[in-house]
Amino acid sequence: MLPRLPRAVVFDMDGLILDSEILYRKSVISAATEKGLPIGPSIYEAMMGQPWPGIAQLMTDHYGEDFDPDAFRTVWIDHFDRLIATELKLKAGVTALLDTLDRHGIPRAICTSSAHHQVRHHLEGFGLLPRFDHVIAQGDYARGKPAPDPYLAAAERLGVAPEDCLALEDSHNGIRSAAAAGMMAVMVPDLLAPTDEIVALCARVAGSLDECCAFFTEPLAAERA
């Protein structure tokens, strides 16, 4: 199953808890189309799991020094907000896994590249915010994913050694971040399939969050006691 019993769980948000990565992709494509910018998988797939500064640099490198990423971001957010209002859904297994963690008294945190106000807005809409002990978001770390800083900050906030934390991620950059922090990284793929590099960094690749409930069975709970 896993190399050791997790003492805490750290969740990514977009593409893992929320079915939002598809909405980010749809909105960046529609925003780019509105602005007459060519865009393809090499751009929007590389954005996944990155904070805004990394995305801005990625787009500037692609479109040239005359590109204004902040102006584009305004258009992109408008497209995204319209999709969020009508199409945002939870990923399968979220509630079941949180219920499992509740039964075993396992603390958990969000670790995301999104801003705190986005986390509050999206999770409060589903009544999920109170179910997490901590939120690590933009502004809580020096370097974003794929650097280990976000996951190290989550472990510190939880008061659990990184190697005893289970990190759940859907993106390549997120897995790189969690693995670099020394956590047991499990990928639950969303839009991106794991590459050989990513599989080597993972403790496991799971088909869904429902599948992750098996990490916390009664025998494991007995071991915890």
**Known active-site residue 14:** yes
Catalytic residue chosen out of the listed positions 12, 149, 170, 190: 12
Instruction: Write the pLDDT tens digit of every residue in 55-95.
Output: 999 999 999 999 999 999 999 999 999 998 899 999 999 99
- Provide, rounded to the nearest whole percent, the portion of the chain with pLDDT above 70: 96
pLDDT at 183: 98
State the Cα–Cα distance between residues 187 and 163, nearest whole angstrom: 16
Contacts of 30 (CB under 8 A, 6+ apart): 79
pLDDT at 195: 97
- Per-residue burial over 188-221, b if 16 or more Cβ lie within 10 Å, else e, is bbbebebeeebeebbbbbbeebbbbbebbeeebe
Instruction: Write the pLDDT tens digit of every residue in 201-217.
Output: 999 999 999 999 999 97
Catalytic residue chosen out of the listed positions 14, 149, 170, 190: 14
Of 39-43, 58-62, 177-181, the one with minimum mean pLDDT is: 39-43
Q: What is the arithmetic mean of pLDDT over 91-101?
A: 97
pLDDT-derived band at 223, boundaries 50, 70, 90:
low
**Both tokens of residue 32?**
């780019």
pLDDT at 40: 87
Question: What letter would DSSP give residue 106?
Answer: -
Q: What is the arithmetic mean of pLDDT over 43-60?
A: 87
**Known active-site residue 170:** no
Instruction: Write the pLDDT tens digit of every residue in 21-40.
Output: 899 899 999 999 999 999 98
18: left (phi over 0), alpha (psi -120 to 50) or beta: beta
58: number of Cβ within 10 Å:
17
